[in-house]
Amino acid sequence: MKTSAAIALLAGLGACAVPMRTGSDTGLSFFITSAGPGRGADLGGLAGADAHCQSLAQAAGAGNRTWRAYLSTQAANGQPAVNARDRIGSGPWHNAKGTLIAQNVADLHGDVVRDRNQINKDNALNERGEVVSGRGDQPNRHDILTGSQSDGRAWPAGEDRTCRNWTSNAEGSAMLGHHDRNGGGNTSWNQAHASRGCSQANLVATGGDGLFYCLAAD
């Protein structure tokens, strides 16, 4: 094969290749849902929550990525627990304006140094780049569904912290985080307090709206 032909072939192959994500990629990879599915904490399980993230990301022009809901599930019915931190990829994650939220899983959860992430009212935006209302606003929507402990791991089996693993709006309770790091004695972004219940009305009454975090896993 002549040199010029070989160069042309390689160029053609390169044009078809899928570009690799790098740490310099500041495209949308983290957001709070602008709205929940509207069924309280019944999200259709993890699969339904992931699909909701994917749909919102698609509408925002980021549907080419694989999106995961930041939610844990508890061991039940012979199925093992699932940790939110284990299903969201390795980072880095950026909001809709390109601001770095966390470089990696350890920084997101403060494994080594606390408060290394930038989850706060200014930066924890929805998929459209809008600020999510928090404590002191009307309405207050700062309660974010997580079902997780502060380290991003699931709660032990027993007391329900996931509204039947995100399949019920009538039974149980959900662990919530505060995206604005404000309110009460615990300002954790992923483990602030439990909800009053799992219905949409209960989530709103607690200070939320059935919203959750979405992160790109690739």
Write out 155-209 in H/E/C secondary structure: CCCCCCCEHHHHCCCCCCCEEEEECCCCCCCCCCCCCCEECCCCCHHHHHHHCEE
- DSSP letter for each residue of 112-167: SSTT-S--STTT-BBTTSPBPP-TTSSS---EEE--B-TTSPBPPSSS-SBHHHHT
Examine the pLDDT at 155 and tell me if it is beyond 70: yes
Give me the phi and psi of 5, to 5 degrees please: -70, -40
- Local confidence band at 12 (pLDDT 50, 70, 90 cut-offs): very low
Helix (H) or strand (E) holding 46: helix 45-59
Asked whether residue 169 carries a pLDDT value surpassing 70, the answer given is yes
pLDDT band of residue 28 (cuts 50, 70, 90) is: very high
Q: Homologous superfamily of 22-216 in CATH?
A: Mannose-Binding Protein A, subunit A (3.10.100.10)
Tell how strand 93-94 and strand 100-102 pair up: antiparallel
What is the pLDDT averaged over residues 169-187?
92
Residue 197 to residue 202: CA distance in whole angstroms? 5
Place of tokens 């930041």: 70
Is the whole-model pTM more than 0.85?
A: yes
Average pLDDT, the chain: 90
C-alpha to C-alpha distances, 129 to 48, 60, 107, 215, nearest whole angstrom: 23, 9, 22, 14
